[in-house]
Amino acid sequence: MLFNSVEFLIFFVVVFCLYWLLANKIALQNILLLIASYFFYGWWDWRFLSLIFISSVLDFFVGMLLGRTEHLPIRKILISVSITFQLGLLGFFKYFNFFIDSFVQAFDSVGITLNIQTLNVILPVGISFYTFQTMSYTLDVYNRKIKSTDDFISFMAFVSFFPQLVAGPIERARNLLPQFGVKREFSYEKAVDGMRQILWGFFKKIAVADVCAEQVNIIFANSAHLHGSHLIMGGIFFAFQIYGDFSGYSDIAVGTARLFGFNLMRNFANPYFARDIAEFWRRWHISLTTWFRDYLYIPLGGSKHGMVKSVRNTFLVFVISGFWHGANWTFIAWGMINAVYFIPLLVTGQNRKNLDVAAADRIFPSLKEMMQITLTFFLTVIAWIFFRANNLSHAFAYLKNIFTSEFFNVPVNTDFWASLPAVLIMIAFEWMNRKREHGLCLDPVKSRGLRWAIYYLVFFVLIFLGSYDKTEFIYFQF
């Protein structure tokens, strides 16, 4: 079920009304959320409900058993069962054909033909998100960072919570699971802010991402015949498409959860205002980057065992992060490129230099900050070209065609420039609110009339400049 659909609007209204009619009845609210979440997920394909059910049940009982034994060998067996099952599930549905095809191609390159059949494996929506979410629970219980739960319904609802089920944020049990065990009270202030964030998320998805996608699809499909100026704009449009699409989903998810009395973690913090790649990765897909930090980078030794191992661990995290995104060498290349960007900052000790927002005490950035932001954005655009390309050959050809003598030819297609107004509005609002949770935080605006004027402005821009083809969110494929 898509957020940007009439079906979701009806679903949301019904669930919201029933949920608050059950106020003060936590157990019934949790049952309702569990049923609603399974209905929401099953809307795509009811057959995959069995996967999320089995995944959740397994880790519930693994966590419960971990909480009842201190015997280390048994604990290791239990956590191994959890990790093996979850990664095996993810590996089969997401990477089976990729490994088979790569294996066959490797033998073909040396003149040996193998006749190995691939399977018609359908990728379940959101599998990368809910497997990581439930795995973080068993890992935290194993590492004694949290206590296991005996509340089956709460745990099942935690794994399947519909606002963030299919594209994150990837919530930690230590944050979200306890919220299912306490009374939720309706807060008018939180609801208003939740509605603002939902509106802002729809603006970024429909008016920015979907409109940019129209040009991105045309440019990448015809990259061999276009000028370099078109191609660099195609990369820029994709940068805003994927940001508007993914962060827009996160805004809708966080805002929707707030209407039900839940607080989800922030998943994006204006990454395109970053002044270096390290800052970019502290601000982009925060729930995933912190997941890899806590469950991969630190267990590998982090930065406590010398620079060589720190570099190794960093490189592995970026490559695996790329691989997490999908079964294509372009994603792995994207991860490796970002590692190459990041590692020099790590080696020189500059990776934690920019911890505050740009122009923290000023309206506009300094010339130095502006140059840093521009360079960082340019580097991310180059990496995004690999992410968007069909294959590595396409990516390299695309980059080669950018830097030609026709690089400075200005595109004259009016449809090409029609994507820019909403992008510029998004940039302006997010710059003004770069210290706040989302781009439509209007608490500092004291005039109620001005606040409503801004809401109407965003709404009408959304209506008149938006694309209404009900396109899926990009990260549904991951």
**Would you please indicate which residues are annotated as catalytic (active-site) residues?**
325
**Counting beta carbons within 10 angstroms of the beta carbon of residue 212, is it exposed (0 to 12), middle (13 to 18) or buried (19 or more)?**
buried
Rounded Cα distance, 337 and 210, in Å: 26
R_g of the chain computed on alpha carbons: 23
CA distances from residue 393 to 32, 106, 109, 340, 383 in whole angstroms, order as listed: 49, 17, 16, 20, 14
Rounded Cα distance, 434 and 457, in Å: 20
Distance, C-alpha 297 to centroid of its chain? 19
Nearest to 150 by CA among 70, 58, 64, 31: 64
Nearest to 21 by CA among 260, 362, 378: 260
The answer to whether the beta carbons of residues 338 and 314 sit under 8 Å apart is no
Nearest to 165 by CA among 305, 51, 83: 51
Distance, C-alpha 388 to centroid of its chain? 15
Rounded Cα distance, 15 and 34, in Å: 11
Beta-carbon count within 10 A of 321 CB:
22
Q: Determine the residue type at 332.
A: I
Residue 391: left (phi > 0), alpha (psi -120 to 50), or beta?
beta
Rounded Cα distance, 218 and 449, in Å: 41
Structure tokens at 137: 């629970």
Secondary structure letter of residue 177 according to DSSP: G
The answer to whether the beta carbons of residues 256 and 194 sit under 8 Å apart is yes
Q: CB-hemisphere CA count at 13 Å for 206? A: 24
Please name the residue that has the structure tokens 């999908």.
326
b/e burial code for range 166-200 (CB count within 10 A of at least 16 → b): bbbbbbbbebbbebbeeebeeeeebbebbbbbbbb
Beta-carbon count within 10 A of 11 CB:
17
